[in-house]
Structure 1
Amino acid sequence: MSVPISLFQVVLAAALMLLSALLSWRLRLGLGRDILTAGTRMTVQLLLVGLILGWVFALRSPWPILGIGLVMTVLAAQAAVGRTRGRYPGIFLDAFAAIFGSSFVLTGLTLGAVLQIRPWFEAQYAVPILGMVLGNTLTGVSLALDRFTSDLGHNRSAIEERLALGATRWEAARGTVRAAVRTGMLPTLNSMAVMGIVSLPGMMTGQILAGASPAVAVRYQIVIMFVLAASSALGSLGAVLLAYRALLDSRDRLRGERLKAPR
């Protein structure tokens, strides 16, 4: 059984953020405003989610759940693009397609085939799992797109030289694609490597605090981590391949004029 937490206890925990702000001030990191803004934004967003989830969990139709998932995906795509230094026309749609495709497919497989939730759109399971998958996927997509666009800009001369010597666009950019996908996958793989030894994951900890058996909580966490690893890989690969098609056309030309730095 979970231990109730009062509003005063939440405020007491929030005071710990002052340590980060104090450290930023003493070291002149310039992050004081960012720390306070991030903490305030997170608190407001989570309080609103807490109010909304009670209504969401009572839904018995798949359409509102899918609508909520689409809104979450749009916000995830915006966040992924917002962290990318290089931009090109259509990058938001590419990020959305990569995140939507990997997250919805893997969440559906997890709910219907692995966990065998009946009905599969049960909001108590569908929304939290989709949220975890989306959050993980947007990180992979953001890192992969940032690495790919950055490498294309830095290695533009070398890639154009390969193309001029007769290489296809895939032969010229294959190393850049591989490096970008690897970058997108690394955070999840690093997390999996130390999980249970260095860190206890959030889902497992939450279930244990709620009174679930540690053995059951561990099995749930293992399933989720495998899903997150797959979503990171598929999302990163999909986003990079879409960016690859946008920036290297079918006539084996590098369209560097499409690549712009963010404002």
Structure 2
Amino acid sequence: MTYVPLELTDLALAAVLLIANGVVSFWFRLGLERSLAISALRMVLQLSVVALALRFIFALNSPLWTALFAVFMAVAAGYEVVSRQERRMGGWIATALGAGAPFFAGLLATLFATALVIGPDPWYAPRYVLPIFGMMLGNALSGTSLVLDSMTSASVRERAAIEARLALGAGRYEAFDGVLRRALTTGLMPIVTAMATTGVVALPGMMTGQILAGIDPVSAAKYQVMIMFLIAGATGAAVVAAGLGSVLLLTDERYRLRVDRLSPKQT
């Protein structure tokens, strides 16, 4: 079996559905027509550039170019994490936490998959490393964003309670215990929900793509199970790192709550 190639006319036909969304926005006066058009154009341009870059990197099969592209993805992820926060923590350390947590969690999960689970030859083959790393990074990014947003919002909302615990001699993690647990739960909930609904409610993108490319559904399902396990591990590691790191950033060496390090709420 082989996949059915798509032509530009096929993509233009699929875009009719996007135009329908624009018509809905115009009809109900939602004002989203411009946003839909810009988002769609941005997606097409980004995917086109990435596709050409991946073709170049796959042809080289170089660990250096693979690593450089992975770092580029991590930098973009860090920007997305920071931009999604309602109350941003200032300083380069906060940015490093937002980028570093998903990067290192995704990197560990990717290396585990390529070196031990899949075992391609060579183990750093970009055809395997970069797609897997992209999935790990994207999901870890979402968990990190949710944790940081939950931590910063709760530190302002529950400021009096946290400061009272600190004043009574509680350690920083003890004072943030309830806030941290809720934030970790929030960060892990998307992957928990995804695992619970995968296969019954929806077929994941990776499995669907493999089936459309002619892969046996059973083999595609095996790969999807592996990926979901890896995503769960990467997300969990990133969420915990972001949660613990945010407690350090929201307090100082004298165990004082430092909400002054947060920017005003983004509107």
- Interval containing the TM-score (normalised by the shorter chain): over 0.9
Matched, 1:223 2:226: yes
Q: Which position in structure 1 is the counterpart of 2:20?
A: 19
State the alpha-carbon separation in 1 of the partners of residues 64 and 54 from structure 2: 16
Separation of aligned partners in 2, 1:57 and 1:115: 18
Quick check: 1:191 aligned with 2:159? no
> Following superposition of structure 1 onto structure 2, how do residues 233-244 of structure 1 map, counting pairs within 5 Å?
233-244=236-247
Cα offset, 1:181, TM superposition = 1.3
- 2:135: which partner in 1? 132
Query: Which of 26-35 and 173-182 deviates more?
Result: 26-35
For 1:58 and 1:181, the matched residues in 2 are separated by 40
| Residue of 138, 145, 148 corresponding to 1:142 | 145
Query: 2:111, 2:256 → 1: CA distance?
Result: 38
Amino acid at match of 2:152: T
Are 1:59 and 1:123, in contact at CA under 8 Å, matched by a contact in 2?
A: no
Query: How is 1:82-101 mapped onto 2 (pairs within 5 angstroms)?
Result: 82-89=83-90, 90-101=93-104
Structure 1 residue 40, shift from structure 2 partner: 0.9
Aligned-residue offset at 1:253: 1.0
Matches within 5 A, 1:61-72: 61-72=62-73
CA distance in structure 2 between the aligned counterparts of 1:30 and 1:91, rounded to whole angstroms: 34
**Match of 2:143, SS?**
helix
Equivalent position amino acid for 2:125 in 1: E
Q: Specify which of 210, 213, 219 is matched with residue 213 of structure 2.
A: 210
Shift of residue 262 of structure 1? 5.5
Runs (4+) off by over 6 Å: none
Measured in 2, the distance between the counterparts of 1:226 and 1:98 equals 18
Aligned residue runs from structure 1 range 38-187, under 5 A? 38-89=39-90, 90-187=93-190
Q: 1:37: Cα distance to partner?
A: 1.3
CA-CA distance at 1:187 after TM superposition = 0.9
Please name the residue that 2:252 is paired with.
Answer: 249
Q: CA deviation at 1:259?
A: 1.4
TM-score by length of 2: 0.95
Q: Quote the offset at 1:25 in angstroms.
A: 2.3
Whether the 8 Å contact between 1:69 and 1:130 is mirrored in structure 2 is yes
Q: Percent identity over the alignment? A: 40
Partner residue, 1:37: 38
Secondary structure of 1:53's counterpart equals helix
Q: Give TM-score scaled by structure 1 length.
A: 0.96
Distance in 2 of aligned mates of 1:176 and 1:31 = 35
Deviations 1:201-248 (A, max 9, x none): 111111111111111111000000001111111111111211110111
Give RMSD over aligned pairs: 1.3
Distance 1:140 1:24 in 2: 30
Structure 1 position 55, deviation (Å):
1.0
Report the count of equivalent residues.
263
Offset, 1:135: 1.0
Residue in 1 that maps onto 2:3? 2
